[in-house]
Chains A and B, each alone.
Chain A
């Protein structure tokens, strides 16, 4: 019964999203207020209906209702309650339901928080969002209904949730990631609404910015959690695999980052308008492309979902409609939009343009590397794979000019800047960065540390330049107390840039100094790695609620003193007949100790994977810092200012 209620609620939601797609757009086209006013309650109701539907599925999982096919396939009565609830988004159908829940949530949020926008613009934005909603509700109902029944022959017990997903990281990773993906639909709706109306002013950018920031913030956290989860669950200590599905999330992130910077120019200077619109379209299109890649089965990947060609076809068609439609609209409308502002070659505008160029190049690299094997195969040239070195080497080269620009840009004024006043302070900070990088590196006596030196140098440069810029601001505003006058969005930028510096340092240090060893050990054996001695003290049988397996206990010593105790598991899930590695990690800011238990060999001895990974935490902490920067920016007062009168005062302030 409850499942049918959920299904019915979804059907109503589809109908409602049709209303949301048609009436407000019609209203704003005719200039009639009535149909536009319909948009807000419709959006809120849409969210409530979807929430009912989602709750119904949660309930089916909670009570182990195996008459629902999706529950039977992804849950088991032995599964702990918290994994039963997170199993709701453990597979394709449920995760699509989560997706539409988020989409309707964003839509409702836009409806509730856009009071200050002109009515016509509200109608257009919500109408476009309604259109996007129609696509996804139709997809859920037609292609992947989570409420399908197994009646009359329902199974006694479920097939259990994929063991890979029975982890804390998995509880929050997909919701955050989807919040990000779907959030770009709002930026997209703003862009299309502006195209429809032909109006792009500083206000438009100011309204669009917080939404983009919020989406970007979620996407950043989602990707970071995915990386952290893979590190813990896949059992070989990698944090990024250039896996097609990871790439699918990285592309919208890169374009979203470019969009944030381009929006800043549009808001402050009224230029880059058409560029910003294109980026907003691209960010959402790449989110859709990601959905297509993950859910169509065209790619073989760690996370690829079901291989159902009709689903892929639907998503591809939707993607084509979105991209084709918006580009057509762009072509028809964009000629009317002119950017008035002039700027010189050395100005912040140009540097931010450089930021966009590098981010888009990076996107292109990921795009090519992800889709090239696909085209190669479809063209009948045989199946190939693109090696990790391709991505790594190109990203390495892209990071150098990118980080140099990043440190420089906040110092440079809008419109135009002279070289001379910047030369002295910046070269001082550069020397400072050099000293810091070499100083840190001298603690590691290794000759083959070019990458580490480069990464440290870039990280230190970004940090130093960012601190220097704050110091300069303090001097202008009359000392430290003056810093309180800085806008929140400025602090957001500072945090974001420092986060990036941290990320770069983390990546370079981990890549260079990680030591790993696959070893064969008996009880009592020990192995030494980078000054740490790992001793295998015990291996015993495991007895979990829905799994068995083995657990290994290790003692770790350094200089004869005990550092920690590690507990690594190798679980066997009988229902899915899957084996899972639960790595043991001892984390510190400067290094991780990581042990994964492999198979049992004759002897008895065990295969063990032992790692020492310096600074690996910095990668995720950097990402968290970036997201924090987004949050701080979001708290900026000017995004909450009622009407748009104060555009002028904002334009004089800093980015």
Chain B
């Protein structure tokens, strides 16, 4: 091999190694950050064909309708809890913070959080969606889907 080719070979194989390493790292990071979406009945009965249930402490997303009359607020703080339902079982969501503007009883919401026990979730983020139930479909179509609520950030040490 002449030196020029050798150099090229080195460069190309170097790039390949870097590239595969990079893609590998990326896929790993991707898998680490996947949050599965459950409905209340999927959370309790398990998801998919093999009925996989989430484990306690797992990060996940849950979407369902807020059960009417289930919103309980703490008198002195912003702690709130409510029940979610889709077709059968009920799941309780705890949240500490400001609920989105569009949060209402009887309406569909999505909560992001971790599983506390089989039927309880501690939410870090609650998203409310515009819903056809109280809006003409054409408007619901035009209106942008989701409203954000701040994901709780971890406070840096030393700040109040």
User: Taking A304-B144, A578-B102 as contacts, is the C-beta distance between A238 and B139 under 8 angstroms?
Assistant: no
Q: Does A331 contact B (CB under 8 A)?
A: no
User: Taking A390-B29, A519-B78 as contacts, is the C-beta distance between A446 and B158 under 8 angstroms?
Assistant: yes
* Least CB distance, B72 to chain A, in whole angstroms: 12
- B146→A579 contact, CB < 8 A: no
Please count how many residues in chain A sit with their CB below 8 Å of the partner chain's CB atoms.
Answer: 73
- A393→B29 contact, CB < 8 A: yes
- How far, in whole Å, are A300 and B61 apart by their CA atoms in the complex? 14
Known: A159-B139, A302-B146. 10 other contacts (CB 8 A): A301-B145, A305-B144, A306-B142, A307-B141, A384-B36, A388-B151, A394-B25, A512-B156, A520-B77, A577-B135
A597: nearest chain-B partner, CB-CB: B98
Q: Does B26 contact A (CB under 8 A)?
A: yes
- How far, in whole Å, are A602 and B47 apart by their CA atoms in the complex? 39
* Least CB distance, A345 to chain B, in whole angstroms: 8
- How far, in whole Å, are A250 and B51 apart by their CA atoms in the complex? 38
Q: Does A383 contact B (CB under 8 A)?
A: yes
User: Taking A386-B33, A576-B135, A579-B101 as contacts, is the C-beta distance between A236 and B150 under 8 angstroms?
Assistant: yes
- B146→A300 contact, CB < 8 A: yes
B49: nearest chain-A partner, CB-CB: A380
Residues of A with C-beta under 8 A to B35: 384-387
B143: nearest chain-A partner, CB-CB: A162
- How far, in whole Å, are A580 and B141 apart by their CA atoms in the complex? 18
- A384→B34 contact, CB < 8 A: yes
The A-contacting residues of B in range 82-140, CB under 8 angstroms, are 96-99, 101-102, 112, 129-130, 134-136, 138-139
Contact of B142 among A73, A235, A446, A449 (CB under 8 A): A73
- How far, in whole Å, are A450 and B77 apart by their CA atoms in the complex? 33
- B151→A514 contact, CB < 8 A: no
- How far, in whole Å, are A29 and B88 apart by their CA atoms in the complex? 67
- How far, in whole Å, are A236 and B148 apart by their CA atoms in the complex? 7
- How far, in whole Å, are A463 and B149 apart by their CA atoms in the complex? 35
Contact of A577 among B48, B129, B134 (CB under 8 A): B134
User: Taking A384-B37, A513-B156 as contacts, is the C-beta distance between A364 and B78 under 8 angstroms?
Assistant: no
Q: Does B30 contact A (CB under 8 A)?
A: yes
User: Taking A365-B26, A520-B76, A570-B101 as contacts, is the C-beta distance between A515 and B160 under 8 angstroms?
Assistant: yes
Q: Which of A236, A393, A448, A512: most chain B Cβ within 10 A? A: A236
Q: Does A327 contact B (CB under 8 A)?
A: no
- How far, in whole Å, are A236 and B61 apart by their CA atoms in the complex? 20
- How far, in whole Å, are A384 and B54 apart by their CA atoms in the complex? 13
- How far, in whole Å, are A515 and B136 apart by their CA atoms in the complex? 40
- A368→B26 contact, CB < 8 A: yes
- B33→A387 contact, CB < 8 A: yes
The B-contacting residues of A in range 168-218, CB under 8 angstroms, are none
- A300→B145 contact, CB < 8 A: yes
A164: nearest chain-B partner, CB-CB: B144
- A607→B78 contact, CB < 8 A: yes
* Least CB distance, A93 to chain B, in whole angstroms: 9
Residues of B with C-beta under 8 A to A302: 144-148
Q: Does B68 contact A (CB under 8 A)?
A: no
Q: Does A555 contact B (CB under 8 A)?
A: no
A237: nearest chain-B partner, CB-CB: B150
Q: Does B73 contact A (CB under 8 A)?
A: yes
Residues of B with C-beta under 8 A to A372: 30
Residues of A with C-beta under 8 A to B160: 515, 517, 528-530
The B-contacting residues of A in range 566-620, CB under 8 angstroms, are 570, 576-581, 596, 598-599, 601-602, 607-609
* Least CB distance, B36 to chain A, in whole angstroms: 5
- B153→A516 contact, CB < 8 A: yes
- A162→B78 contact, CB < 8 A: no
- B159→A515 contact, CB < 8 A: yes
- A599→B144 contact, CB < 8 A: no
The B-contacting residues of A in range 381-415, CB under 8 angstroms, are 381-390, 393-394
> What per-residue 1/0 map shows which CB atoms of B1-37 lie under 8 Å from chain A?
0000001000100000000001001100110111111
Residues of B with C-beta under 8 A to A513: 156, 159
A530: nearest chain-B partner, CB-CB: B159
Residues of B with C-beta under 8 A to A570: 101
A389: nearest chain-B partner, CB-CB: B33
| Cβ contacts A to B, 27 pairs, < 8 Å | A159-B138, A238-B148, A300-B146, A302-B144, A302-B146, A306-B141, A345-B11, A364-B26, A382-B47, A383-B37, A387-B35, A390-B30, A394-B25, A447-B157, A447-B158, A448-B157, A516-B150, A518-B98, A518-B150, A520-B77, A530-B159, A577-B135, A599-B98, A602-B73, A607-B78, A607-B98, A609-B98
